Structure 1
């Protein structure tokens, strides 16, 4: 059994389990009797030749070092400088970030075969490094050509520096334990920095914000749309009443006695035609309202139907009053006067003088009859016109009641549909919020569990490190004795 295998077997069981779980490659190397490879972090300004230098080092010995992406995992920092010009603020800033005080640094000057004055640049770099920090006062800068010359000596210097830094006292298993510890610390830091469930909490806030807001917005939209429909339909009712009134007046002015007697039927037909237009306008507007609100229209009850608005039977019989009697007297007087005027030439003949009297009376009676009939026709037109005006007022009231009833019924139906839809949405939101809360609780438990697991594993690795270092100290005392 080798020394490395003995150390690995002497670790506490919990420490060995943590190393196997977190760092299986390091544990496998220790089981095989090998220590972890040296980690090297390559730093330097852009276009300094870092990639070319790394390829050259790997070509010399690919198993000697392991190039890492994080300086925390590196045992040595390789700072690459360009021989084109002395280092400046950019190079020093990179050096300060990549090489903490406890980390050894190897300097390499690349492209020495390209730039002839690289020796002067090298001396200038050594002076600037010594001025920048006392730890770099005796730093050696290894020249490397673009063709690959000097790479082997640079690799030897890296390995030598790493060996001197370890002093031969730190075992391979201690390196694996420290590497595992860095993995655990890095993971725990990432867990603490990450906010578990941020997207779920944002979703929870969003769904709760829209839980009742959509219902309020839709109801406000419904009220505004109903008011707009009311204005438009009242305007349509007024327009149809005006059209009916104009048609009625024109027809009454041209109507004879027979037409006036049948005009209530004509009036009822006209009201039905105009009422159909109003009904169509209301139906179209309400369908548009349902479409805008996203609600399927339902059939209305019979109490909201547009029945025959002209419920009156017709105008009452006109009462013949004093005006008619006066018209008869005026007609008789006008007829007698007109007859006397027309028959005055006959009175000049004695034989026909007696005959003019009955003729004059006949003409007077005829004139009185015609004037009385004409006056009665005019009065009948006025009577029917007055009846039509009152009937249209009744029709307008009925149409407006019909429109308002349909609007109120539609508003109630749509409001109920919106509230029902809002209840379903609120139920879905509550269910989703409950799911989110459960997921957040699960994430919180998982988050605490992950941190607790990292802390337990970190404590196990620390116990293993203390055990390894204590054993190494006891071995040193035995060797010195």
Structure 2
């Protein structure tokens, strides 16, 4: 009984091979062989290129050399006479030597290494241990001068002719080639993780899900504390400036000016209040800018509230100092009057007239001294009142600053939370899209692997039919009845 052809195999096997390897199926149907030429394999620096050139020099049309072992009808395994073959050579041999593909061995550089004969026998022993099919394998020694190339060419031609006698190796080769294609595709699908970029994007999106709300809120608190320190320092500076202006004006004020000075102090406080408001507005604008939000300050839309200056000072109460000033002024005035009219006392006619004059001068000096002392005391009284009034104004300014800071912090925090919610919603939507895409990719990957496994099982069943001994029936029913 002849070996089965591709058309004799199960329909599912034929469909899989036709889908995966249409070129090889077309060659089989046209009567051509799927094995085309010789594939040269071996370790690096074994002289493969030199050996191919010599073979072509002998007969360029006798053999065709291919670059893919799947397209080869014969494998030429090149070994180096420098040392016996090892794991590298055996690994290459396992990859390129299919079960139905003949292998011809060549040992190069025999003219360079004197112990090549020992290496030759050692290689035969190692090949026999590695696989039963290589038990009687012949290794053709080749020298650099060209000796042994003719025998190697003849062995390659014999192997190519023997391989082309039966079509079953061609069918088996197509099945093996198709199997390798399926295995390579399945390995690529398993090794390639689908959606790696999507997973990285998902991780980045979840990392920034809150829009950096925690960091922004922490930075906002630090900026608010810094602004509080700066603005309270500005309030203290304005209070000191207002106090210096008030003291300077009070020291130069007359009696009429002192009477209306509370109104003047209110004007000074109003001017400084505008400077405080401007500093607060500028600093809060900088705070919102650094926080990255566009929240507006509702208190900055209208004029700031004017600080309330306490009512004018109470009337100064006259005390013991004023009485003592009167006595001292009278005493000093009498003494001054006597000093002034002392020349008149030397004239007897004017001696009596000097007494009322002395009294008049003493009275005027006492009045001036008492009035001046009262003016100085009034200045001190107004100065003390201005100091206490500025303390009250400072407390109002500080309350104004803290209220604006608290309102700004609240608005900026609400804006940050609102932006964070929007960002979280956008991230959640994007993560949901990514999860859906990842599920689709995973389902597609699973489907590809399942399809590869089904196709691989169909090809394996075809290989079992092809490799079954010729005397055994192909159909399961016939095998059970024999």
Residue 114 of structure 2 aligns with which residue?
A: 120
Match of 2:392 among 394, 407, 411: 394
Match of 2:413 among 406, 412, 415: 415
1:300 and 2:294 matched: no
Residue 363 of structure 1 aligns with which residue?
A: 361
* Structure 2 CA distance for aligned equivalents of residues 183 and 152 of structure 1: 36
Distance 1:56 1:355, change over 3 A: farther
* Structure 2 CA distance for aligned equivalents of residues 187 and 123 of structure 1: 43
* Structure 1 CA distance for aligned equivalents of residues 259 and 63 of structure 2: 122
Q: CA shift at 1:359, angstroms?
A: 1.0
Residue 66 of structure 2 aligns with which residue?
A: 66
Residue 383 of structure 1 aligns with which residue?
A: 381
Residue 349 of structure 1 aligns with which residue?
A: 347
Q: CA shift at 1:264, angstroms?
A: 3.4
**1:304-323 → structure 2 map (5 Å cutoff):** 305-323=303-321
* Structure 2 CA distance for aligned equivalents of residues 62 and 372 of structure 1: 143
Residue 257 of structure 1 aligns with which residue?
A: 255
Report if the CA contact (8 A) 1:75-1:162 is conserved: yes
TM-score normalised by length of structure 1 = 0.83
Q: May I ask how many residue pairs the two structures share in their alignment?
A: 462
Distance 1:31 1:149, change over 3 A: farther
* Structure 2 CA distance for aligned equivalents of residues 457 and 58 of structure 1: 40
Residue 479 of structure 1 aligns with which residue?
A: none
Q: CA shift at 1:23, angstroms?
A: 0.9
Q: CA shift at 1:367, angstroms?
A: 1.1
* Structure 2 CA distance for aligned equivalents of residues 357 and 109 of structure 1: 157
Match of 1:87 among 82, 87, 91: 82
**1:83-162 → structure 2 map (5 Å cutoff):** 86-88=81-83, 92-100=86-94, 105-109=103-107, 117-118=111-112, 120=114, 122-130=116-124, 132-134=126-128, 139-143=138-142, 154-161=152-159
1:159-183: CA deviation from partner (whole Å, max 9, x where unpaired): 5346668994834222211221222
Report if the CA contact (8 A) 1:37-1:65 is conserved: no
* Structure 2 CA distance for aligned equivalents of residues 260 and 399 of structure 1: 25
Match of 1:372 among 370, 394, 400: 370
* Structure 2 CA distance for aligned equivalents of residues 56 and 324 of structure 1: 137
Residue 330 of structure 1 aligns with which residue?
A: 328
* Structure 2 CA distance for aligned equivalents of residues 39 and 328 of structure 1: 140
Q: CA shift at 1:464, angstroms?
A: 2.8
- SS of 1:120's partner is coil
* Structure 1 CA distance for aligned equivalents of residues 371 and 340 of structure 2: 22
Report if the CA contact (8 A) 1:332-1:365 is conserved: yes
Distance 1:207 1:39, change over 3 A: farther
- SS of 2:307's partner is coil
1:404 and 2:399 matched: no
Report if the CA contact (8 A) 1:39-1:68 is conserved: no
Distance 1:62 1:346, change over 3 A: farther
Q: CA shift at 1:105, angstroms?
A: 4.6
TM-score normalised by length of structure 2 = 0.83
- SS of 1:205's partner is helix
* Structure 2 CA distance for aligned equivalents of residues 411 and 304 of structure 1: 19
Q: CA shift at 1:468, angstroms?
A: 3.9
* Structure 2 CA distance for aligned equivalents of residues 393 and 152 of structure 1: 117
* Structure 2 CA distance for aligned equivalents of residues 401 and 15 of structure 1: 89
Q: CA shift at 1:11, angstroms?
A: 3.3
* Structure 1 CA distance for aligned equivalents of residues 326 and 454 of structure 2: 127
Distance 1:356 1:75, change over 3 A: farther
* Structure 1 CA distance for aligned equivalents of residues 28 and 167 of structure 2: 17
Residue 245 of structure 2 aligns with which residue?
A: 247
Report if the CA contact (8 A) 2:316-2:381 is conserved: yes
Query: 5+ residue gaps in structure 1?
Result: 477-481
Q: CA shift at 1:362, angstroms?
A: 1.1
Distance 1:194 1:395, change over 3 A: same
Residue 189 of structure 1 aligns with which residue?
A: 187
* Structure 2 CA distance for aligned equivalents of residues 262 and 276 of structure 1: 23
Q: CA shift at 1:308, angstroms?
A: 2.5
